[in-house]
Amino acid sequence: MPEPRFRSRTFKRVKKKLPGGSTVTHYEKRRPKQGTCPVTGETLKGVARERPTKLKSIGKSKKRPTRPFGGVLSSRAARDKIKQEAREQK
Amino acid sequence: MYEIGRLCVKIAGRDARLKCVIIDVIDDTFVMIDGQTRRRKCNKIHIEPLDKVLKLKKDASHSEVVSVLKKEGIEVVDTKPKKATVKPTRQLKKKETPVKETKKPKVKPVVKKEESKPVEKLDELVVEDKKTDKK
């Protein structure tokens, strides 16, 4: 039986084979879900999906797209917002 | 709408939200732009035209576009292309190998043996002397 703290389904069970030949279960934390656009509801593309400790080692440009509202809004939503701003300025 | 001199705003790409001017109409779909963005062809879908039409000739140079935009109050920041710098090569320190002292082979001095004369018998020598004395 696993320890009480590992019985939660937030941990995923991974079987690992040791050098001695025996298999052991390791409890690892799950990766976060992919981000979604708040306007359209689409999944955001080009956004890294890793735990915070691994995100630190990834470069800034590899974590999100290099454009306005990159990683926040989808490309379609960003385009619509910029169009709206341009028309308001007229 | 999409004519030469029309002031536009880029909607898509890395340079979205930047202002540009149409320099040339290539196709029904493509247009040549310049300004705060790089001088390149662009799809009409990716730009939003504004009210203003600036006085520019077809295929105007970048400096002319910059001067016209400056009059409108739009600043253009030119990014100079980075020159390829020569990366400093890491000079590895050569390890000083100890010089091995090569032992010279011992050369024995060549001693020339003198040819030994045959030893004459003393008796014979005495006889010869006697013979000589008689005379």
Please, what are the averages of pLDDT over each run of 10 residues along chain B (135 residues)?
92 93 93 93 94 90 92 83 76 76 76 68 56 51
Q: Check residue A8 and give its pLDDT.
A: 93
Which residues on A lie below 8 Å from B9 (Cβ)?
Answer: 82, 86
Whether residue A39 is found in the same domain as residue A21: no
Q: Check residue B68 and give its pLDDT.
A: 92
pLDDT at A88 over 90: no
Q: Check residue B99 and give its pLDDT.
A: 74
Mean of the per-residue pLDDT values of chain A: 93
A50 pLDDT band, cuts 50/70/90, is very high
For domain B6-72, give its CATH number from 2.30.30.30, 3.30.70.1400, 2.60.40.1180, 3.40.50.800.
2.30.30.30
Q: Check residue B135 and give its pLDDT.
A: 46
Percent of chain A with pLDDT over 70: 99
- Helix, strand or coil, per DSSP, at residue B125: helix
Residue B104 backbone phi and psi in degrees, to 5: -80, 140
Q: Which domain holds residue A23?
A: 1-30
A82 pLDDT band, cuts 50/70/90, is very high
Which residues on A lie below 8 Å from B19 (Cβ)?
Answer: none
- Compute the average pLDDT of residues A40-62: 93
Q: Check residue B33 and give its pLDDT.
A: 95
Q: Check residue B117 and give its pLDDT.
A: 65
Is the CB of residue A66 less than 8 Å away from at least one CB of chain B?
yes
Q: Distance between alpha carbon B44 and the CA centroid of its chain, in Å?
A: 42
Whether residue A39 is found in the same domain as residue A6: no
Q: Distance between alpha carbon B74 and the CA centroid of its chain, in Å?
A: 40
ipTM: 0.74
Q: Check residue B126 and give its pLDDT.
A: 56
> Quick check: B16 and A82 CB within 8 A?
yes
Strands of the sheet with B47-53, listed across from one edge: B40-43, B30-35, B19-25, B6-10, B47-53
Whether residue A25 is found in the same domain as residue A14: yes
Range 16-35 of A in CB contact (< 8 A) with B: none
Whether residue A49 is found in the same domain as residue A86: yes
